[in-house]
Amino acid sequence: MNRWKNFNKGIFRENAVFVLFLGLCPTLGVTTSVINGVGMGLATTFVLLMSNIVVTLVKNFIPDKVRIPSFIVIIASFVTIVELLMQAYLPGLFDELGLFIPLIVVNCLVLGRAEAFASKNTFVSSVVDGLGMGLGFTMALFFLGGVREILGSGSFLGFKFIPGDGILLFILAPGAFIALGYLIMIMNKINKKTA
């Protein structure tokens, strides 16, 4: 498989959120605005990339029976690093994302890639896979955050262009589910056309 295909499968054909339905909790929980969504996406991309790299490097030393706990420890270490870095340098974003930062550990996407891809493939393709999957995830959060911010507060990236309050529902919990439902529907339609 060539590099480009490996990279862009994470963005389209195997998009974590829209096609595989992995990592849904942070997707729904933090996308009240574009900034939060992209911040979460990039944090997850970092963890995904680093854990893919470490897993692919140590895959030959880990006995098969304890591989899942080992992967979890590797992932949890990087999540702790992200947590501490964010608390120090981006305290505003840290407060907004709150509980969902430690919960990157249980994002099924990260463990899923470590188990299904990085533990079976070479170093370079694991890096490419981690980047592609992470960016696909970030893109999904960007779209969902964009839809919710535009409809919910009439602004984009914090710039207000519609006067008034917007449709409050889209900032609240129900709007997250409904917006994601429609986005997945659109993605289904697009994937069917290209397939």
The one segment of 55-63, 126-134, 153-161, 165-173 that binds another protein by CB under 8 A: 165-173
Single out the residue of 106, 150, 151, 167 in contact with another protein (rule: CB under 8 A). 106
The one segment of 8-16, 24-32, 118-126, 136-144 that binds another protein by CB under 8 A: 24-32
Q: What is the 3-state secondary structure (H, E, C) of the chain?
A: CCHHHHHHHCCCCCCCCCCCCCCHHHHHHHCCCHHHHHHHHHHHHHHHHHHHHHHHHHCCCCCHHHHHHHHHHHHHHHHHHHHHHHHHHCHHHHHHHHHHCHHHHHCHHHHHHHHHHHCCCCHHHHHHHHHHHHHHHHHHHHHHHHHHHHHHHCEECCEECCCCCCCHHHCCHHHHHHHHHHHHHHHHHHHHHHC
Rule CB under 8 A: say whether 85 interacts with another protein: no
Rule CB under 8 A: say whether 37 interacts with another protein: no
Single out the residue of 16, 28, 118, 135 in contact with another protein (rule: CB under 8 A). 28
- How many CB atoms are closer than 10 A to CB 58? 15
Specify the residue, 57 or 173, whose C-beta has the smaller distance to another protein: 173
Rule CB under 8 A: say whether 118 interacts with another protein: no
Single out the residue of 84, 85, 124, 162 in contact with another protein (rule: CB under 8 A). 84
Rule CB under 8 A: say whether 176 interacts with another protein: yes
Site for another protein, rule CB under 8 A: 21-26, 28-29, 68-69, 72-73, 76-77, 79-80, 83-84, 99, 102-103, 105-108, 111, 169, 172-178, 180-182, 184-186, 188-189, 192
